[in-house]
Structure 1
Amino acid sequence: MWVQLVIMIVALVVSYVLRPKPVTPKPAALEDFSVPTAEDGREVTEVFGTVWIDDPNVLWYGNLRTTPIKAKGGKK
């Protein structure tokens, strides 16, 4: 029994020492993202149908408004 316990502990230590070290990924940079831009003087692309645009230029973005959340019921 003691021999098996010692073999198990040795195997555990060896597997811990020989395990692969995790590689830490580099943090994402601004160049890694493709976000729409809004630049003055840039040409406007006309799109007909459904297509994928790699470098969009934002001309207008909806009516942005907020609506307050009202609690229903509960204590007054």
Structure 2
Amino acid sequence: MNYDQEKVDQAALALLFINSWTEKHGGQRAWKTLDWDIGERLHEKGLITVPVGKAKSIFLTDEGIELAQKIARDLFAE
């Protein structure tokens, strides 16, 4: 499946903004990764493996893969 890269970029930018904060001296900063609370919630729903640890990656569960594919198709399919 091909994805509309503009929609993907806009969604990524929105996620960065949602998890951003304003610096004391001005400017808006955001972590390059998802907020840890998001990872915890996805784990509690059984969609990903434990998000805490030394590894910089997680595994999607079978249920997580199925739901992620549906969401990606609904939001970003060309």
| TM-score band, normalised by shorter chain | under 0.3
TM-score, normalised by the number of residues in structure 2: 0.24
TM-score, normalised by the number of residues in structure 1: 0.24
More helix by share: 2
Quick check: which has more Rg, 1 or 2?
A: 1
1 or 2 for the larger relative contact order (CA 8 Å, sep ≥6)? 2
